[in-house]
Amino acid sequence: MDPRRNPYTPNAGARPPVLAGREDQLSTFDLLLDRLLEGYAEQSMVITGLRGVGKTVLLSEFRNRARERDWAVVEVEVSKHDDAAFRSLLAREVRRALLEISPSASWRDKARRAAQALKSFTLTVEPTGAISAGMNVTPLEGVADSGALDADLTDLLLALGEAAIDHATGVVFLLDEIQFLTVAQFEALIAALHRTVQRSLPITMVGAGLPQVPELAGEAKSYAERLFKFPAIGELGHDDARQALVEPATRRSVGVDDEAADFIVSYTQGYPYFLQEFGKAVWDIAPGPRIALDDARAALDIVEEKLDGSFFRVRLDRTTALERAYLRAMAELGPDPQLAGDVAGILNRTSQQCGPTRASLIEKGLLYTPSYGYAAFTVPQFDRFMKRAVPLVVPPLQQRRRPNRDGRSR
């Protein structure tokens, strides 16, 4: 069929043609904004899930819905920054949000005060004032200028919230990949948001990250669970997965046979990104005007080649040889969370010997710890990929070295 009319969108963060199975999260976000504008407190959200389940897509949909209400939006994709770089990143995005609330020529007193607070906030990392260029204001002495991220960010968000309410709008912070925040950065964001809640200001933060985020939030502030809901999203149920696959084709007057749809949903396990990859591949090879089971089977090798070459491989390429061996040993045990001792046993090592490798994989975002002693892949079907791409190499049993009579090991 004509690839120019292919409706599927297997791109990172791209909205699928049918956003199925996420109605609860969208309704929760709508309620959040509506209540904040009415002056009522409401828990914000931190969405968690594996790679490829649509967290970034949801953030993009939240952005669109916020802007439909004329809210200002601060979008940040978190990476590993020190506090100074993180402060600079926030300052640039807050400047953008303030100008969305009101152009500088139309500022009233509270918007001008927010600009002054922003100027103070930036001077600790940008003494030249480059970030606040174009804002003809002086720093607000004693506000957002202490150099302590938590105190200064609180001052900044309070001033921004006052400006927003003065212009009958609000501000939503959308943070992606928040598992890369340091505890101090997370703590500063939570503390600042907590103060805006206490003041009934129309500011909120919605984040998205890997499944370990609720634990990180709890480590940052004990009251985080009262500020946020932590909805976990995963694979789509069978009916939602079929809808996400079949409806885009139907809109193009292309049918999908039941057997083909069941085959694709079964292989992808309902993961949204995999559904888009499979849909695109089978569309391009099917003669049409229907997609049959034979078409789906013929597309399978294309799908695996595409996933292996991009979605999976780009993550594996960031690992060392030891880390790859650890991931391959985990894959041998299956897709479920695995006990550290069991993985080490396949490698003829102890948990203590494998500990640094496991910790490095967690830091790189390839593993997370769902419970004590266990680790799981952050990428769905990664075990399948590892078995296809990396041979299992079991090193020889490592013997404990025994001391000689003179005390030296042998």
Model pLDDT, residue 401: 47
Calculate mean pLDDT across residues 19-42: 94
Nearest to 189 by CA among 268, 93, 296: 93
What pLDDT, in 10s, does the model give residues 156-171? Answer: 999 999 999 999 999 9
pLDDT above 50 (res 132): yes
**Amino acid at position 329, single letter:** A
Nearest to 324 by CA among 303, 299, 343: 343
Tokens, residue 384: 């399948």
Residue 200 CB contacts under 8 Å (≥ 6 apart), including other chains? 39, 40, 41
Tokens, residue 80: 């590993």
Number of H-type helices and E-type strands within the chain = 17, 10
Quick count: other Cβ atoms within 10 Å of Cβ 141?
8
Binned at pLDDT 50, 70 and 90, residue 409 comes out as very low
Model pLDDT, residue 307: 96
Residue 209 CB contacts under 8 Å (≥ 6 apart), including other chains? 46, 47, 48, 55, 176, 177, 178, 179
Q: What crossing angle do the helices spanning 258-268 and 272-285 adopt, rounded to 10°?
A: 140
Cα dihedral value 269, 271, 273, 274, nearest 10: 0
User: How does the average pLDDT of the chain come out, rounded?
Assistant: 91
Model pLDDT, residue 136: 79
d(CA 119, CA 404): 68
d(CA 251, CA 264): 19
Residue 314 CB contacts under 8 Å (≥ 6 apart), including other chains? none
- The alpha carbons of the chain give a radius of gyration, in whole angstroms, of 25
Calculate mean pLDDT across residues 321-333: 96
d(CA 364, CA 356): 12
Binned at pLDDT 50, 70 and 90, residue 211 comes out as very high
Calculate mean pLDDT across residues 196-204: 94
Q: What are phi and psi of 368, to 5 degrees?
A: -140, 165
Per the CB < 8 A criterion, the answer to whether 6 and 283 are in contact is yes
Report the share of the chain in percent with pLDDT over 70: 95
Report the share of the chain in percent with pLDDT over 90: 80
Full DSSP string of 105-149: GG--HHHHHHHHHHHHHHHTT-TT--TTTT------TTSS-SS-H
Instruction: Specify the range with the lowest mean pLDDT, choosing from 2-6, 111-115, 149-153, 215-219.
Output: 215-219
CA 18 to chain CA centroid, nearest Å:
20
Residue 347 CB-density burial (10 A; 0-12 exposed, 13-18 middle, 19+ buried): buried
Calculate mean pLDDT across residues 134-147: 86
The residue with greater pLDDT, 156 or 406, is 156
The DSSP secondary-structure symbol of 35 reads H
Return the SS3 of 401: coil
Instruction: For residue 272, say if its preceding peptide bond is cis, omega within 30 degrees of 0.
Output: no
pLDDT above 50 (res 80): yes
Model pLDDT, residue 223: 78
Tokens, residue 331: 């894959």
Cα dihedral value 12, 208, 322, 399, nearest 10: -150
Binned at pLDDT 50, 70 and 90, residue 189 comes out as very high
What pLDDT, in 10s, does the model give residues 270-317? Answer: 999 999 999 999 999 999 899 999 999 999 999 999 999 989 999 999
Domains in the chain, CATH or no CATH each: 23-229 (3.40.50.300), 236-315 (1.10.8.60), 319-389 (1.10.10.10)
